[in-house]
Every structure is written in C-alpha cells, then in structure tokens.
Amino acid sequence: MSDPRDFGIQGNGYRAVVSSAGGALRLLEHEAPDGAYALTESWPAGERPPLYSGVVLAPWPGRVRDGHFFFDGIEHQLAVTDPEHGAALHGFAWASYWELLSHSENQIVQALEVGLHKGWPYQLRLTVTHELGPAGLTVTHTTTNIGGYHAPFGLGAHPYLRAGDSDLDDCTLQIAAGTRLPVDPERSLPNAYSQPVADSDYDFTSPRSLRGVTLDAPFSALDEDVDGRVRHDLLGPDGRGVRLWTGPGFGWVHASITDDYPGRGRALALAPATCPPDAFNLGIDIVVLQPGETWTGQWGLSALV
C-alpha cells in the first residue's frame, strides 16, 4: 500500500492540510499575531492518522454491536474490526485511500466508492470537500446510493480539537446539547436510553474546565442557533480557541478524551455525527438512501480569537 498523499489549502488567514488516508483533516491552523495557532491536533506528513484523527466515519460512525444488525428484514454480519469491544467500528471510509477530484488554493475535493464488504451489500459513493473561507473551514459531505437497493447509512467525522498550545486540562469546553446517550465503559456501546444532561457530570451547556475530566459520550438534543447551526467551543486559558459548528443532518456530537494522543497526551475528539453508536441496531436517526438518492451535510471549524 502506498503512503498517504497530503494536500494543502490556505486562505483568509487559515491553513489546512488534508490527507488521502481516510479523507482526513490532518492540520488546521489560524494565523495569529504571535504565529500559527493550532485548531486541531495533527500528525507527521505521509503517515496514517493516529486514533482515527480527522477521518471520515462512514457508512456508519461508532460501533455496531457484535458487527450484527438487521435491515429491512435481512440479517447482516459485518467483520468485527474492534475485537476488544466485540464490534464493527467506524465503517470503511477511514481505512481507505480517497481519490483526488480537484485541488485549488482554498479547496480540495476527494471521493470514495464504498463497494461490497462482508455483511455490507450496499454500494455508495462519498465525496468530502474541505474549503477555507472568511469564517474558517467548511467541510461538505455527500453520499449517493449507486447500487440497486435502498441502503442504511450514517456518517461522522473525527477531528481532535486544540486551543493552540494550551494543555487540555487548562481549557474549557462548552457543548450545546441537552441529552447524552449512556455507554457501557467496558464495550463503549449504548446501554440505556438518552438522559438529560442538566445537573449531571455531562452538563457542558456552560463552559466547564476539562481538568481531570474523563469523557466518552454521544450527545444529542442539540441546541440550534437561529441560522440552523449548532456551535460547540473549546477555549484556552487566554480566551482563544476553536469552534465546531454543525449544520442540519448532524444531530449528534460524540465527545471523547484520550490520554495518549501521540506527542500530546490528553486530547479531545469532538466528532459530529448523523446518528449515535450502534444506530443500525437502535434504529435511531438512520438515513435510508434510495437508489440514486444523495444525502448532503456540512460542519466546520472556526478560530475564536
């Protein structure tokens, strides 16, 4: 297998690097008076993304319990790609090299055809567009059913956010969400109905310090602004930071903290998603694409300075 290819874009005070591996966002930074200000975690050029960093998660985000589900009365047994948790993890797009469709100074478009896999008889064509504008990075996803049967579908992205060089423990996090879906700590799979975050350890509706916080939670009941977007903020101790916004169709955001991001230690993944983990079994927010039908969704990142 060849090494990943990296493609740089820049504009409006931002610089980004996108990888062919997993369609991943490898780097995003904003030009500040004191130099480049990192908005995402990164990794060395020419290497594959660590810990699913920045990749596209499709045709499902999160885990499918035991790799097993029914759709339209048909039983499916996917390959168990996460044997530690007994699950099929994050679909196929993250493990694939994407095809470059176009590359300009401020935009890159890549595509991937998801063909037939063990337990997956559906054919989909995905595109991902990374574009820099005055408000920062906009990521546009499309998925088209190019097969002959209606297909279940879910999509997510997996950026690790960063407030410059600030340690995560010195940062605050605000998540505009009213509920969270409990997950089993042993298998990282849902084990109860969604619960309100109010007056709980999962209430990030106001900025909260991340010092010593452990987190692995899918959030929903997202609080839309008047423009239809939902906004979540990670801020460093100097008040600067990064904002993740999501558009219609991304009804979930999965927040997780790892202690072993290469070269950084503690790091926060804030992953927009169309559905929760194990959605194919839960029956929650599954997109069903008819033959020839296309789904489109957007999310993005902006510097808070």
Confidence (pLDDT) at 295: 98
Where on the phi/psi map is residue 35: left (φ > 0), alpha (ψ -120 to 50), or beta? left
pLDDT at 1 over 80: no
State the Cα–Cα distance between residues 198 and 237, nearest whole angstrom: 25
Query: Which residues lie closer than 8 Å to 21 by C-beta, 6 or more apart?
Result: 4, 48, 49, 55, 97, 98
What's the average model confidence in pLDDT over 170-195? Answer: 97
Let me know: does 49 contact 40? Beta carbons within 8 Å: no
Residue ranges and CATH numbers for the domains of the chain are 6-304 (2.70.98.10)
Model's pTM, two decimal places? 0.97
Bond prior to 59 in cis (omega within 30° of 0): yes
66-95 residue pLDDT tens: 999 999 999 999 999 999 999 999 999 999
Q: What is the structure's pLDDT at 157?
A: 98
CA 44 – CA 26 distance, rounded (Å): 9
Q: Look at the block and give the residue holding tokens 């990282």.
A: 188
Distance, CA of 245 to CA of 27 (rounded, Å): 17
CB atoms within 10 A of CB 223: 12
11-41 pLDDT tens trace: 999 999 999 999 999 999 999 988 999 999 9
Number of C-beta neighbours around residue 274 at 10 A: 25
Residue 141 has pLDDT above 90, yes or no: yes
Residues β-bridged to residue 88: 64
Residue 53 has pLDDT above 90, yes or no: yes
What percent of the chain shows pLDDT beyond 70?
100
Q: Contact 270/244 with Cβ under 8 angstroms?
A: yes
**How far is Cα 184 from Cα 168, in angstroms, rounded to an integer?**
24
Q: Tell me, what's the pLDDT at 2?
A: 75
Identify the three-state secondary structure at position 236: coil
Q: Mean pLDDT of all residues in the chain?
A: 97
